[in-house]
Structure 1
Amino acid sequence: MLATSMACACAHAQIQQPQPVSAPAMMSAPAHPDPYIPPAMRKPPRDGAPSPMLQYQSMQKLKQRFEDADVDSSGGLSREEAHNAGLGFVEKNFDHIDTAQRGVVTFEDLKAFIIQRREEARSR
């Protein structure tokens, strides 16, 4: 009986308890702030350009605002719809965005205008 309790005590003593992690190890920064962003999109932007993820998020927000402003669900905005929705950028540049002079701006027209403006700004 004494041998059994000694063996038990020795076996218990050999089990190592987990050691607490030191504070600096817990505070170290992760490799990337958001590990769910694909590695290809983690690269730093070149020449101060916004990251692809930021561009995507911005475009999605703009698309949602555009769709919300399209009260008649026609797929395009009139100058009045842009004004009523508070889309001042679209209203101000309406004639430049509406290159076909239809009196309606589609989201594709708006994207093309934004890309064109971005390219012009980069070429300066």
Structure 2
Amino acid sequence: MKNSRGVWASIAMIGAMVCVPQWVQAGSDDSAASAPDSAQSPARSPEQIHVQPGVPRSSQPALSGKALDAHVLTQLKQRFDAADTDHTGRISVDQARSAGWGYLVNHFGQIDKAGRGTVSFDEIASYMRGMGARM
């Protein structure tokens, strides 16, 4: 009985090795027809990028430079304030998790260097700047 299980496991493994690449290839053929390959297509200006029907276009000009940095910082602060449900100016890993802030949950131990169990907005922003974010 043990030998037959090993044989069936080997057959299943070989079948997966043969079939999966074919399924992946078939799936990539379908997706290639619906969306251009960004690695092969040249860079396009924002005016040339296709927007799906029903997606409203912004009437605001595109942000760049210091305006973009300030916008990112404002969005981060708003997200922090929404997670700070007890309005202490600090959030816990549970508050970050409840707010759906996976990045903060995943890096909480690195941000909370003092080991208090909570982090401030400034600690988060400082950590992100140290990781290369412009804010």
**Which residue of the partner structure matches residue 57 of structure 1?**
71
Secondary structure, aligned partner of 2:132: helix
**Which residue of the partner structure matches residue 91 of structure 2?**
77
Give the TM-score of the pair, scaled to structure 1: 0.55
Matching of residues 29-108 of structure 1 within 5 Å: 51-108=65-122
Counterpart CA distance in 1 for 2:66 and 2:110 is 26
Matching of residues 8-19 of structure 1 within 5 Å: none
Identical aligned residues as a percent = 32
Counterpart CA distance in 2 for 1:89 and 1:53 is 24
Structure 2 residue identity aligned to 1:93: H
Counterpart CA distance in 2 for 1:115 and 1:57 is 15
Deviation at 1:106, TM superposition (A): 0.4
Task: Give the total of aligned pairs.
Answer: 73
CA RMSD across the alignment = 1.9
Q: Name segments (4+ residues, structure 1) moved above 6 Å.
A: none
Structure 2 gap ranges (5+): 1-59
Secondary structure, aligned partner of 1:105: strand
Secondary structure, aligned partner of 1:118: coil
Structure 1 residue identity aligned to 2:105: E
Deviation at 1:92, TM superposition (A): 0.6
